[in-house]
Amino acid sequence: MYEKIKDSLYKIKTERPSCTSYLILDDQKNILIDPGLYQKYPILKENLEEIGVSPEDIDIVLNTHEHADHIGANKYF
């Protein structure tokens, strides 16, 4: 489930216990904040694609801190 907060900012929820991710779209770089648990990656990927972004379109992954529920899916980017 995702929510458009502003034109270029999305909040993405991939079910508990994973964290909430944020997507910032820009003309120069696309930034994904906290991609969440690796087990929830299929849900994250589906949400990204619904927004119109593929995982390959992500230029920067930013982690707020080093807990598994925030960084587990980093390996897909």
User: Model confidence at 5, in pLDDT bands (50, 70, 90)?
Assistant: very high
| Strand ranges in the chain using DSSP code E only, listed in sequence order | 2-6, 9-13, 20-24, 31-33, 60-62
Distance CA 9, CA 72 (A): 22
Which residue is associated with the tokens 């991939």? 14
**Per-residue pLDDT reduced to its tens digit, 24-75:** 999 999 999 999 999 999 999 999 999 999 999 999 999 999 999 999 999 9
Distance CA 6, CA 16 (A): 24
Domain count for the chain, please give it.
1
Range of the domain at 49: 2-76
CATH of the domain at 34: 3.60.15.10
Inter-CA distances, 43 with 15, 31, 59, 69, 72, Å: 8, 18, 19, 14, 13
